[in-house]
Chain A
Amino acid sequence: QVQLMESGPGLVQPSETLSLTCTVSGFSLTIYNVHWLRQPPGKGLEWMGVMWSGGGTDYNSTLKSRLSISRDTSKNQVFLEMNSLQGEDTTTYYCAREGYGGFAYWGQGTLVTVSS
């Protein structure tokens, strides 16, 4: 079945770079688009960017200067890198796959805290 799992450091120092991995199973990254989203504690959802099945990317303009999404199809992994982290980047990060026209499959999320 379709599964996505985020992994990465739970704690990042201010001004440093966050690196997250989304490992997927049950589908091909060359057929389905995978998105990154985030949700601050107790708050709403923000779409960050997408790795298109064809290999291209798109980013939320509010994050575009700091964000990079890439993939390794041989390892079934999608990567997120975001630099210059600050306290407001403390949030749960999700990867999600499209389905039924929406974000139909989600990872369990990974909480990242930005703190010294």
Chain B
Amino acid sequence: EIVLTQSPATIAASPGDKVTITCRASSSVSYMYWYQQKSGASPKLWIYDTFKLPPGVPNRFSGSGSGTSYSLTINTMETEDAATYYCQQWSSTPWTFGGGTKLELK
């Protein structure tokens, strides 16, 4: 099983800040996927194929990485971005998720 380790577990940011969340895989994966989840809601696909944004996701979000190291970056934090973000891999079953990064407003 591929273990995904996210860091930090929690981060506080102010509007306008640049935020980066990292996801490290225990084995190399081809792509990384990211989900945004707000309290009491279902997760939403936020980044796919490492760097692509689904319709409706603001372009202040970006993704990058390869192999065992990936990241999600918010160029300029906005209040609506406060949520928990999970990375996920499709390269090897069982498909696994990272433990999550909770992004809070400072």
* Given contact pairs A44-B86, A102-B33, A103-B35, A62 touches B94 in the complex (Cβ within 8 A): yes
Q: Give complex CA distance A50, B42 in Å.
A: 18
Contact: A104 with B42, CB < 8 Å?
no
Chain B interface size range: 20 to 34
A42 to chain B, nearest CB (A): 10
Q: How far is the CB of A101 from chain B (nearest CB, A)?
A: 5
Q: Is A58 close to B, CB under 8 A?
A: yes
Pick the most buried of A47, A99, A108: most chain B CB atoms within 10 A of its CB: A47
The interface residues of chain A lying within 8 Å CB-to-CB of B86 are 44-45
Binds A, one of B21-29, B70-78, B95-103: B95-103
With A47-B96, A62-B94: A100-B42 Cβ-Cβ less than 8 Å: no
Q: Could you say which residues of chain B place their CB within 8 Å of the CB of A106?
A: 42-44
Interface status of B15 (Cβ within 8 A of chain A): no
Q: Let me know if A109 and B42 touch, CB within 8 A.
A: yes
In the bound complex, residues from chain A placing their C-beta under 8 Å from that of B42 are 94, 106-109
Residues of B close to A72: CB separation below 8 A: none
Does B83 sit within 8 A of A, measured CB to CB? no
